[in-house]
Copies of this chain bind each other. A is one copy, B any other.
């Protein structure tokens, strides 16, 4: 499997607190977790790369794209968003992390606001498995805790997920649909909530396990689906009525 972890890579260079937690960048920590889990060939790309590191060729060679962004959603080129959307529709998996709920590719593919309630309070989050037979929940038991996290609360402005895997509980009284999937075209999308930049969330074993499970789940089932486009069809089965 060929996996590409895309990181916005901005906080890391502006905020020493983030740089301390993720000295090689958040994308490298996420990629390290995937390599550790044996998730195939794992590469990284960032906003600052030419074409954000998401050329036509590279996307064509990518089976699952993992996306983290926050401050610079608007700096992502619309032409690149077009490409990502097209690749998902033909089968590439997409794993969307935390604040990337507001990224252009996620909003484009879902068609809704993707907005939510939030609070930077750095307290405990508990994620409950609500779909114990789902492959993304494999090995997580009833769920797990992240010791310090930003709070995200409902309502989350998404289409009803095809599958809901995790729901989070927050100390301050909120709940959130923390792990959810959608299929779009031939591609699979998994959104996973945790991952505020100032906390070592992507170093935590359970979080890495979920992301690895998600990447495995999102891999294409077959060769790229060549959508017929909107094309006129000959009466190829016209003989059926003969």
Contact = CB atoms under 8 A, between A and B. Distances in A.
Given A164-B160, A230-B102, A225 B172 contact: no
A91 B137 CA distance: 13
Interface stretch (A14-22, A50-58, A114-122, A198-206): A114-122
A233 B151 contact: yes
Given A121-B235, A154-B167, A172-B237, A130 B228 contact: no
Contact of A109 (B111, B154, B175, B185): B111
Interface stretch (A27-35, A41-49, A60-68, A176-184): A176-184
B102 A85 contact: no
A140 to B, nearest CB: 10
A213 to B, nearest CB: 9
Interface string A122-134: 0010101111111
Interface in A174-226: 174-175, 177, 182-187, 220-222, 225
A38 interface: no
Nearest to A167: B175
In the complex this chain forms, how many copies of it are found?
Answer: 4
Given A108-B111, A164-B160, A167-B175, A222 B119 contact: no
A77 interface: no
Given A117-B233, A133-B91, A175 B184 contact: no
A117 B231 contact: yes
Contacts of A228: 115, 117, 155
Q: Interface residues of A toward B: which range?
A: 35 or more
A227 B157 contact: yes
A119 B228 CA distance: 14
A162 interface: yes
Given A89-B113, A117-B228, A233-B119, A133 B186 contact: yes
16 contacts: A89-B113, A108-B111, A110-B111, A112-B185, A119-B232, A128-B154, A128-B174, A130-B156, A133-B183, A133-B222, A154-B167, A160-B162, A167-B177, A169-B169, A173-B235, A241-B241
